[in-house]
Amino acid sequence: MPFTPFHMGPGILAKAILQSSFSLMVFGWAQIVMDIQPLFVLVSGEGHVHGFSHTFIGALLLAIFSALSGKYLSEIGLKLIGISNAGVPIDIAWWVSFLSAFVGTYSHVVLDSIMHSDVVPYYPLSQENGFLGLITVSQLHQFCVYSGLFGAIVYYSLEYVRNK
C-alpha cells in the first residue's frame, strides 16, 4: 500500500461495527508505526522495504508498542481537538487500545502481503507468502476505499439515530 491512508478504510469499517470497543486513533497510530521501517528504507536506501515489521511476529511487537503508546497519544489528541463524551475527556480502555493496535498491525501485514512480493508474513517459519495475488491490486484498493466509505456511512447513520 502507498503508506497508511488505504489501510484506514478497513479501520473505519471496524470502528462502525465495534463503536466504542474500537479506537480508530490507536488503529491509525498502528498503521503509522508499521510503515516507519519501510519509510526509513526508502529514505536511506538501506535494508529490505517490507522487512521484519511486515511479518506477523513483527506485527505482534509493533502492536504492543502501538497499544501502549497509542492509548496516551490518542487521549491527548482527542482532548486537543475537543472530542469528549458529554464534556468528559475520553478514556480509552486498555483492552480497546490493544484490540485496535492488533487489528491495525495484523490487517496491515495481510493487506501488504496481498500486493507486495517482498512481504514474508510467516518469517522466520516460512519464506512463503500465500496472500500474494489473492486479489488484484485494483480490487484491494477498491476494498479499502469502499470499506471506508461504507464504514463512514454506517458510523454516521448510527450517530444520527442515536442523537435523534
pLDDT tens for each residue of the chain, 164 residues long: 446 688 999 999 999 999 999 999 999 999 999 999 999 999 999 998 999 999 999 999 999 999 999 999 999 999 998 887 767 788 999 999 999 999 999 999 999 999 999 999 999 999 999 999 999 999 999 999 999 999 999 999 999 998 88
Cβ neighbors of 42 (< 8 A, separation 6 or more) are: 49
Cβ neighbors of 140 (< 8 A, separation 6 or more) are: 111, 114, 115
Asked if residue 124 has a cis previous peptide bond (ω within 30° of 0), the answer is yes
Q: How far is CA 106 from CA 79, 90, 155, in A?
A: 28, 25, 23
Residue 164 has what pLDDT? 84
Residue 2 has what pLDDT? 45
